[in-house]
A and B are shown apart, each in its own frame.
Chain A
Amino acid sequence: MDVNKVVLKLRGLALPLALLAVWWIITKNEWVSAVFLPPPETVAATCVKLLLKGKIFVDLNESITKVAQGFLIGITAGFVLGTAMGLSSTIEKLFGPLFNAVRQVPILGWIPILILIFGLTELAKIIFIALGAFYPMTLNTFDGCRQLKKEYLEVARVFEFNKPRLLWRFILPSALPSILSGIRVSMSEAWMLVIGAEIFFKTRGGLGDMMWEAKSKVQMDIVFITILIIGLIGFILNHVMKILENRLLRWRSSN
């Protein structure tokens, strides 16, 4: 690794370290109440305690299970609708306007009605998450299905490809980049919404609830730690998807 890169990396550490120092000084001198800003060492100690106690893993597990279900339902539905609309202009004309109208409603706006219909249940939350994952997946898949250039369609005609093989060999592969980024966007959307669901549906269990409870008890250290964990998991999910994309789309790189 060359020296320049190391310097750049070290610079990246400067600001967080400075912030940490400021944080420490502020709390040391009690310029701000420890209720609002607990000292760094308290946060670290709480973090260790939480990890040792293990309840956090139960919450984590709960959130992840929920997000996985909602996400899978959402992207499956999005894939089906997106492909159908991409392949058939009749289906597009039939579903497109309604889809676009429904999409205008900010996702959090559906919460009250979901609560009314399904109550404060797991199902309500899963539907909510699925809906959030559904939009980007549908849009991206639809977009992807129209990526195939006319020139390649002619190749398919020259080789007398039938519809299923056209789909499998030509349309889906050319849609793949778009579909994969749809999956990635849906995933981070779903991850945000599971936290939202746990906060807004005000039910027990999950990281969002843990956070909310900490907020109610003004346990700032726990709020910090949950934010950290939630951010970290979001980052990991995104990163894993990117690696997957690079692997599956190897054909795009030229070297």
Chain B
Amino acid sequence: MAVGKRKIECPLYAEGTAVSEEDIKTRKVTHYEDHPDIRYSWTAGQAISRFLNGLKEGKILGVKCDGCKRIMVPPRMFCELCYKPIDGWVELKDTGTILTYSISYIDPDARPLPKPIVVALIQIDGASQNMAIMHLIGEIEPEKVYVGMRVKAVWKPENEREGSVTDIKYWKPLEG
């Protein structure tokens, strides 16, 4: 019964039949297609609702925890480290520092963008170290962006804000 030291090479087989997107389009492969149309409506919850309403007023809000002494953004109802309710809300600055960035050539479906955009993690002034949010960078050539660059939020006009992270259009280099 024991297999012993038999000399075999694994995997024993390479099974499976490759087909192409073209085979699907030309109906060479038997298949069935459907386009599910499912709608969702997500509630923002306690902390993020307040954060988004703050953006509408042109303010970036964070929370503080007296246990770990962190000032956190994005805000949350409870501190996940101390596992207790947060100890209050703080208004942060609308300036920050780029921790890392990317120049994206693709949209969410991996289709090419008309022109590349810059996305970054921005550590927000007034919050603890590494407390960053993801957002877009504008008013600068993509090649000129660097880690450590100081940036400032460019807000939409007040009457166009709707309580979304896009109430900030993008972040631009902070001169001086």
Whether A and B are associated in the same complex: the answer reads no
Q: Which residues of B contact A (CB under 8 A)?
A: none
Q: Which residues of A contact B (CB under 8 A)?
A: none
